[in-house]
Amino acid sequence: MPGVVREIGHTHKPAEPLLSALEHLQAQGSLLSLVLHRPQRLELIRAMSRQGLVQWDRTLSEYALTPLGQQCLSEYQGAANARVRGAPG
């Protein structure tokens, strides 16, 4: 489903922080080093959960990207890579 990132951008919150958080969550396994203040971390996790981008993994006791979250992150990273490749050197 192409354009998922664009659809997320039409919600109440800008898509960029959510996508950056997804990237960090996948790389680090948590948002602790990205967002120091617990209330802000919780707000970010709730926003990503409402969008269907993350879910709680009971086995690992941590949040994990859903298939939709993986797809959005892949689109976001692909668009970022395309911008870098298209930028004048």
- pLDDT surpasses 60 at 11: no
Residue 1: the pLDDT is 38
Report the 10 Å Cβ neighbour count for 31: 21
- pTM of the predicted model over 0.75: no
Higher pLDDT, 74 or 16: 74
Domain ranges in the chain? Answer: 4-79
Q: In what helix (H) or strand (E) does residue 23 lie, and over which residues does it extend?
A: helix 15-28
Assign a CATH topology to domain 4-79.
Arc Repressor Mutant, subunit A (1.10.10)
The answer to which of 20-29, 54-63, 74-83 has the lowest mean pLDDT is 74-83
Express each pLDDT in 27-49 by its tens digit.
998 999 999 999 999 999 999 99
Between CA 49 and CA 28 the distance in angstroms is 18
